[in-house]
Amino acid sequence: MGDSRLAGRRGAAEVWTVANELPTFFAVVAAIGLAVYLLSNQFFYLNLLTMALLFGGLAVSWNIIGGFGGQFSIAHSVFFAIGAYTAGNLYKHFGVSPWIAILPAMLLSAAVAAIVSWPVFRLRGPFFAIATMALTEVAIAFAMHWKAVTGGASGLTIPYRAGLENMIFQQRWAYAALFLGYLAVTLLTSIVILRSRLGYYLQAVRDNDKAAEASGIPIMWTKLKGMAISAALTGIGGVFFMMYVRIVEPAGLLSLFDVGVKIALIALIGGIGTIYGPLLGALILVPLDYWLRAFMGSAVPGGNLIVLGLILVLGSLFMKKGVAGALRQVYRAWSRQQ
């Protein structure tokens, strides 16, 4: 009886803490929705916002295992690609609506994540990151040779049949709204997880895994659960991206730097382990990355990566908790002066 009462109180507390986050959540979603509306006729800026929302959702998804759990994975491009190829093949060869394809994309991404993570999670620190990097390279080689599914180097192309049921729209603002919905789902999931028992377990493992294990927390199960949820949400992003661009090729979709590292970098710059930090990072880094590519062009190949790397180093030195942490410190300092 005592255990059931304790569980009931804990559940009520979790619901209450999630409810406290909802006003901020709805305010953020509404503000971005207003931005989508205002930019609906500005193709260039609307496209930048659309990609920022996509990578914001991907970074929020990564943050569940990378931020809350402290497992620095750079293999999320693999789960992103699984979602894209699942939706693309089901739509192209079997006429399955992408909306329906979301479920198998999530399940397949989560299953692959759990299977490959089981041995990898036994590694620690940089060895874990290196192992996930190797996984990405293996996935690229595999995708290049599995032409029946990926199209090989020439890529996978899906037919253009506009319609809500096909997730293909004539108006570009509709894609921005779609990715805003994706971002909202990832943010809400992140809020629920952070305020749940799983969130507490992930943070305990991140802070001190030996102490967490000694206190009875199932370390491996916690990591696998966090990774599976993170991968499933990343797979949804892959589905939406597939229907947005309608043609993908392995080198771009599974790119270690343009997808895998970029997702982690966005979360780190924005504020790892926070709810809205990854979104802030995406709103800053996605436009910045585009402009760096445009200005440097072929004159300085890879120059954008050099600049982003410098930003990461400077951020690690002067803003250890990212943009979100810096803003929080400024707000607290301002509050004390009032």
Where are the chain's structural domains? Answer: 2-337
Over 50: is that where the pLDDT of 3 sits?
Answer: no
CB atoms within 10 A of CB 112: 19
Q: What average pLDDT does the segment 94-109 reach?
A: 98
Q: Whole-angstrom Cα distance, residue 137 to residue 336?
A: 50
pLDDT digits (tens, 9 = 90+) for 310-325: 877 777 667 767 888 8
Helix, strand, coil % in the chain, rounded to nearest 5: 80, 0, 15
Residue with the two structure tokens 């989508």: 36
Tens-place pLDDT, residues 277-291? 999 999 999 999 999
Question: Between 18 and 214, whose confidence is greater?
Answer: 214
Architecture of domain 2-337: Orthogonal Bundle (1.10)
Q: Report the pLDDT value the prediction gives residue 122, as an integer from 0 to 100.
A: 87
Region label for 122, one of left (φ > 0), alpha (ψ between -120 and 50) or beta (otherwise):
alpha
Please state the φ and ψ torsions of residue 272, each to the nearest 5 degrees.
-70, 140
Q: What pTM was estimated for this model as a whole?
A: 0.93
Mean of pLDDT values over 194-217: 94
Amino acid at 51: M
Lowest model confidence (mean pLDDT) among 3-7, 128-132, 213-217, 243-247: 3-7
Strands 156-157 and 247-248: antiparallel
pLDDT band, residue 129 (cuts 50/70/90) = confident
- pLDDT in the model for residue 280: 96
Higher pLDDT, 126 or 147: 147
